[in-house]
A and B are shown apart, each in its own frame.
Chain A
Amino acid sequence: MTTTTRQRRAPRPSWLLLIPALGLLAAVLLVPLGQSLLTSVGAPGFTLEHYASLFTDGVTLTVLGRTVATAAIVTAVAFLLGYPYAYLMTRVGPRLRGVLLVIVLIPFWTSVMARNYAWIVLLQRGGPVQSVFEFFGADDIAFQGSVVGVTVAMSQVLLPFMVLPLFSSLGGIDRRLLLAARGLGSSPLVAFWKIYWPLSRGGVVSGLILVFTLSLGFYVTPALLGSPQQSLIAQLLAQRTTQLLDFAGAGALGILVLVITLTLVAWANRFGGTISAIGAAATTDRKEQR
């Protein structure tokens, strides 16, 4: 304790150490985003017409609605698969837990393009996934070039972001509480619902918000697996920038997406350090094995 107060008294060199990092951040993130904001409000003047036209051009709202719906489905799929998996991770022995953790992290370190390519091959017309569905009598499901395919691939890519916060939250729950409830005569379902679920809610909210926000801004997967007729918000943003060169309109749309995302993240952050939890889980996964 005395050391921390002593260090607090000499702050200047410590702040200096932050300057390079903050400078880099400013050059790549803050200044470009600030410029986008200024362009979108028509600097040097001031106008909100670019924002207003987002809501009146007929396209943006449709695409935004489709994006939100896709993100919601992806989030639901990731939750339904991620919760049991994270729960299983807390139940098995340390070695198997290590294996399960490595499996979660594999999509993290498999190249984004390799994964998207694999999904293209798996989901293409006449590909393995479609054959499986045909075998079960579902002939006319198109995976490639449809929202279905995008959802399947996106859920897989984003599942780690659901499992990791859930795992850190579920791992902290004392299972003896459940056994106590069972001992007092409650059924397994009631014990889960009344005791386990409320205790896991922090991790659940972090995971849900994180996956939802990340899927809002997804670009490569929808661009490759989806179709231009059913584009998502990120494709619209890219198209306005590179093809239409409508920097003001793109700026307004980008700022809108950014504000939605950061609001949700800030909200989720109150439930327990989502941002740093992901970074920590992704980088220090080997602590477990030491």
Chain B
Amino acid sequence: MTALDEHETANPATPAPAPRRPSRRDRGIDPIPWWLIVIGAVVALYFILPTLIVIPLSFSSASAFQFPPQDFSLRWYENFFTDPIWLSSLGNSFLVATLAAIIATVVGTAAAVGLDRLTGRLAAFARTLLMISLVTPAIVVAVAVYIAFLQWHLTGSVFGYVIAHAALGVPFVLVSVTAALGGFDPKLLRASASLGASPIRSFITVTMPLISRGVLTGAIFAFVTSFDEVVIALFLRSPTFQTLPVQMYNSVTFELDPTISASSSLVVVAVTIIFLVPLLIGSRRTKKR
């Protein structure tokens, strides 16, 4: 927030050294009002506050949910890494999220490539259909999936979790691969075909390298979506198989177990790293050019 204030107060005073943005010129006649900056700062705080308090909480020694923490300790981390229930939930989440992300990525990339070549109402309808899970209330899906999976004997099974989560990940893969294909020149495929490559070979050696960033982004989103999914997971859980978000849910409803704070911090840090890695790889790549 201080960065925001500094930025704004510093700008009108100092003359722009390199006027890259034309907007700087009319700062004088069209300034950003101060109250807007205040509102922006408050809203920004509201956005990040809940994420920020989780980390100090995890180092608290109190055995109740308490903020700000009084004493610091690592007991909740110790608990997390020694308790078989937490550890197995973590392992289950990794397993389900990895498999779901693989399926969602393969299936979603294929659909994006297919839709890229199709036009017309039917294709537009298929695209909307594949995106629909983004706006379908999670609880409605969860209840329907629960009832159906009960009949199919899929509740509490890895396979049940994986296909349910894979379906939720498909829209993200579809969007990011479609965006990547937008910058793809189809003439390249004709060139490779004229040089004798089969369609599959063309896809692997020409298309894939060019859209790999989009595929990777989609895969990451599919992984995180599954790793974080709680509503469907709550319905599909069984005494023998549950995921980490479900164990976190249990720990605030039944057990009041502060181990959730260690678990939350680990997940927040892990997910942030997962999102930052492609960002760093991407910037290094652009720098090289």
Contact = CB atoms under 8 A, between A and B. Distances in A.
A159 B40 CA distance: 13
Contact of A257 (B50, B137, B148): B137
A35 B150 CA distance: 12
A237 B264 contact: no
Contacts of B119: 4, 8
Given A7-B186, A115-B50, A254 B140 contact: yes
B195 interface: no
B204 interface: no
A100 B167 contact: no
Given A114-B264, A220-B249, A286-B282, A106 B171 contact: no
B260 A265 contact: no
Interface string B107-139: 110110111011100000010111111111111
B144 A32 contact: yes
Interface residues of A, number: 101
Contact of A100 (B44, B171, B228, B283): B44
Contacts of B176: 283-284
Contacts of A8: 117-119
A93 B47 CA distance: 20
A258 B137 contact: yes
Contact of A16 (B51, B114, B263): B114
Given A84-B43, A113-B248, A122 B67 contact: yes
A275 interface: yes
Interface residues of B, number: 110
B143 A118 contact: no
A247 B145 CA distance: 12
Contacts of A224: 249, 252-253
B13 interface: no
A290 B183 CA distance: 14
Interface string A255-290: 001100110010000000011101110111010011
A126 B122 CA distance: 57
Interface string B212-249: 00000110010010011011000100000000010011
A47 B272 CA distance: 50
Interface centre among A156, A218, A275 (most CB of B within 10 A): A275
Interface string B1-44: 00110011001000000000101001001101000110110011
A111 interface: yes
Contact of B166 (A24, A36, A93, A237): A24
B81 interface: no
B29 A81 contact: no
Nearest to B30: A179
B147 A217 contact: no
Interface in B135-186: 135-149, 163-164, 166-168, 170-172, 174-176, 179, 186
Task: Give the interface SS of chain B, mostly helix, strand, loop or mixed.
Answer: helix
Given A20-B110, A24-B167, A220-B230, A237 B29 contact: no
Contacts of B179: 280, 283-284
Contacts of A258: 136-137, 140
B243 to A, nearest CB: 10
A88 B170 contact: no
B85 interface: no
A220 B233 CA distance: 12
B26 to A, nearest CB: 7
B110 A21 contact: yes
A15 B282 contact: no
Contact of A88 (B32, B54, B175): B32
Contact of B117 (A14, A24, A107): A14
A279 B48 contact: no
A114 B252 contact: no
A166 B278 CA distance: 26
B87 interface: no
B95 interface: no
B267 interface: yes
B167 A25 contact: yes
A22 interface: yes
27 contacts: A11-B117, A13-B199, A18-B111, A18-B126, A21-B111, A21-B130, A21-B170, A25-B130, A25-B170, A27-B163, A35-B144, A39-B147, A85-B40, A92-B7, A99-B3, A106-B51, A110-B51, A118-B57, A120-B252, A179-B30, A213-B135, A217-B136, A218-B139, A254-B143, A275-B134, A276-B175, A283-B176
* 10 nearest A-B residue pairs (beta carbon): A217-B137, A17-B114, A114-B264, A118-B50, A32-B148, A28-B167, A21-B111, A279-B175, A32-B144, A113-B248
